[in-house]
Amino acid sequence: MDSPFGLLAELTYRCPLACPYCSNPLNLAGYQDELTTDEWRRVLVEAGELGVLQCHLSGGEPLLRRDLVELVAAAHDLGLYTNLITSALGLSRPRAEQLRDAGLDHVQISIQSDDPTVSDRIAGTPSFQRKIEAMGVVKELGWPLTVNVVLHRLNIDRVADVLELAEEVGADRVELANTQYYGWAWRNRDALLPSRAQLEAAEVVVRAARERLRDRMDVIYVLPDYYSRYPKPCMGGWASRQLTVTPNGDVLPCPAAQSLPLPRASVREDSLERIWAESPVMTAFRGTDWMPEPCRSCPRRELDFGGCRCQAFLLTGDAARTDPVCHLSPDHDLVAQAVEAANAESRADGLPLVPRPHRVRRPTRHPGGADRPAPGVERAG
């Protein structure tokens, strides 16, 4: 494809939750200078001109942007399909009605478990009941509802109950996504990586649920990379289908690419069209010419594109290495060791977690209609 069809608009990294698997960057303080309302409007126009069809509004927590309704309306007026990816904290009925009137097409709500105590503990704040109430509002207002659950060692044994909860709230789609180890999840990998026995039990439950619910609810199950024989293609191929714009205007081929030692590209300095076509961050790993062996001569090179560049960098320090998840990678032992540790009989459960800090500074308005963080004290989770 010559142009992307999906834009992930990360409006803010402020968030009321403190999930230990969050994929947001570790240096959250580096993203406080958020794009203004007018800057985001320009991004949306340029995205439409580039060929983008879907706009996913995410964060952090996008509901913390006071101009969210304005941005939804702007995207809708441009003909973009809009999807709100939210914790639902702050999705009151009046706010939801405003978003519906602005043209929002779809809502995805995350939940940490079917059990209120477990869910609140993982989220780092009481939130379960508000999420359930918000799901009810979403269905009452006629939106399609996706329930997203990030799976890991602390909740994967509850997959059957999670699916039952998704049925109860009337979800149209449920995403059971095993943790990908970037950002805060990378720091907590030892505590979060499930055992092989846990995964096998969960897969049995998911297969049965897919068959039982096939006419009522889509059940998406994403395996953890570490237990796969081959890696997943990075976003369908590096900078081939989607792009991400971060709160401060950086443009990336995927949400986790902040960690890579590549030149930055910003919508504050250049157009999306030029960034997509010419910037080093987009062209560095596009296609297959950059590949080392064994990827270069592998018949799967245009199926998985060498795997995840961010994962390769985190594990080896070199973003151009074959993703160590691949059993053909010369670095595969790095993944094998982590899996072995997760399955060791001597492994102790309840390993300490490093929570993602809360970032809920109250924004202030400034010319251009932006929400910018006001001076204040961050509250650690």
Query: What are the binding residues for [4Fe-4S] cluster?
Result: 15, 19, 22
Yes or no: say if 29 and 247 are a contact pair by the CB < 8 Å rule.
no
Backbone angles phi, psi at 176, to 5 degrees: -105, 95
End-to-end CA distance of the chain: 42
- How many C-beta neighbours within 10 Å does residue 292 have? 12
Nearest Cα to Cα of residue 269 among 243, 292, 248, 244: 248
Can the peptide bond before residue 60 be classed as cis, meaning omega within 30 degrees of 0?
yes
Peptide bond into 367 cis (omega under 30): no
Nearest to 34 by CA among 69, 78, 72, 67: 67
Name the β-bridge partners of 151: 178
CA 43 to chain centre: 20
Q: Could you tell me which residues are annotated as the binding site?
A: 15, 19, 22
Beta strands in the chain (DSSP E): 6-10, 54-58, 81-86, 106-110, 145-151, 173-178, 218-222, 242-245, 251-252, 363-366, 370-373
Coil, helix or strand at residue 271:
coil
User: Which pair of tokens denotes residue 124?
Assistant: 């780092």
Q: Looking at residue 352, what DSSP letter applies? A: -
Q: Give Cα separations from 357 to 31, 108, 110, 124, 379 (angstroms).
A: 14, 22, 18, 9, 7
Handedness of CA 167, 168, 174, 176 (dihedral sign): negative
Provide the CB-side half-sphere exposure for 63 (13 A, CA): 22
C-alpha 201/C-alpha 196 separation (Å) is 9
**Residue with structure tokens 């998704």?**
166
